Amino acid sequence: MGAVKTAHTNGVAARGRTRSGRSRAWARMGVMSLFRDDGIVLRTQKLGEADRIITLLTRGHGRVRAVARGVRRTKSKFGARLEPFSHVDVQFFARGSELVGRGLPLCTQSETIAPYGGGIVTDYARYTAGTAMLETAERFTDHEGEPAVQQYLLLVGGLRTLARGEHAPHLVLDAFLLRSLAVNGYAPSFGDCAKCGMPGPNRFFSVASGGSVCVDCRVPGSVVPSPQTLVLLGALLTGDWETADACEPRYVREGSGLVSAYLHWHLERGLRSLRYVEK
Ligand SMILES: [Zn+2]
C-alpha cells in the first residue's frame, strides 16, 4: 500500500472529523489534510498527561512524528497499537497540504498490520537487537517526510525475521545494519579491494577505505580479519543465511565488531543501544 492522501479539505469540513479541541482549533486556522500510510513505530515519548508523540518510519513519507491523543489512558486500545516494533496502518490529520512541515500532525486512527513487538520484547536478545534496528532506522532517516522506501522495507523484513526467531538475533541485526549501510550508499566490500577493485579475497580491512583492501591499498589502521569472518559478512549482506547460520561463534563475534566499527564510522557517533546487544 502506498501513501495515499485521502482527503484535502477546508477547515469547516475538517471540524466534523475530529473530537479534540486542539484539532478544532487547527481546523479554524486553515486548510487541513488527511493522510494515510503504513509504518513501523520507532519510538514513543510522553506528552502532557495522556498523550504521546509517536515516531514512525512510514512507507510513503519516511520518518514522521505525530501526536496521538489520549493514548496513555489505561483503556486506550489505540495506544496499545502504537507501541515500538508495531507495524501499523495510520491516519494522520495535518495542517496545510503536506504531512510534515507545519507543526506535528495528529495521529487519528491506527490499525495493526503486524504486532512484531509481541515476539520481540519477551526475549532479551531479540529486544536489544530490535531496539538497535529501530535506532539505526531512525538515524538513517534524518529528514522527516522524505521517503526512504528501501530502509522501510529492510526494517519491516528485519523485524519480522527477528519476531519469528528464524535466525540468531545478533545475525539478524548485523544483516540489517549491513544492508542499511548499503541502501544508504555505504555498501562495504568484503571481497574485492574497495579502492582499486583487485579481485578478492583480500587480506586487509579498513573501515575508512570502505571494507576489504589489497596489500597495496592498505592504510594505517587496517586490520586483518579471519577469512571466514569476511565470508560471513558477505553472506549477511547478500542474504545467504545457510552460510551465516553455520558460522562459528568466534567469526560471528569478529564480524559484529567490524560491522559496528563500520557503522559508527558512517554515523559519526555510536548507537547507544548497540552497547546492550549480547554478543
Ligand atoms: Zn587495492
Closest by CA position to 174, among listed 277, 40, 39: 277
> In this structure, are strands 4-9 and 62-68 parallel, antiparallel, or unpaired?
unpaired
The CATH H-level superfamily of 4-116 is Nucleic acid-binding proteins (2.40.50.140)
Domain coordinates in residue numbering, the chain: 4-116, 167-276
Confidence of residue 31 (pLDDT cuts 50, 70, 90): confident
At 183 the three-state DSSP class reads helix
For residue 162, the cross-strand partners are none
> In this structure, are strands 106-115 and 51-58 parallel, antiparallel, or unpaired?
unpaired
Ligand 1 mean position to 88 CA, how many Å? 46
Confidence of residue 13 (pLDDT cuts 50, 70, 90): very low
Residue 132 has pLDDT above 90, yes or no: yes
Ligand 1 mean position to 215 CA, how many Å? 7
What pTM was estimated for this model as a whole? 0.85
Residue 14 has pLDDT above 70, yes or no: no
Ligand 1 mean position to 133 CA, how many Å? 32
| Assigned C-alpha cell, 163 | 519476531
Distance (Å) of CA 220 to CA 36, 205, 216, 224: 51, 11, 12, 12
**Per residue in 46-90, pLDDT tens?**
998 889 999 999 999 999 999 998 888 877 777 778 999 999 999
Ligand 1 mean position to 190 CA, how many Å? 13
Distance (Å) of CA 111 to CA 78, 87, 114, 161: 8, 9, 9, 21
Residue 226 has pLDDT above 90, yes or no: yes
| DSSP track, 204-256 | EEETTTTEEE-TTT--TT-B---HHHHHHHHHHHHT-HHHHHT--HHHHHHHH
Q: 15 or 103, which is more confident?
A: 103
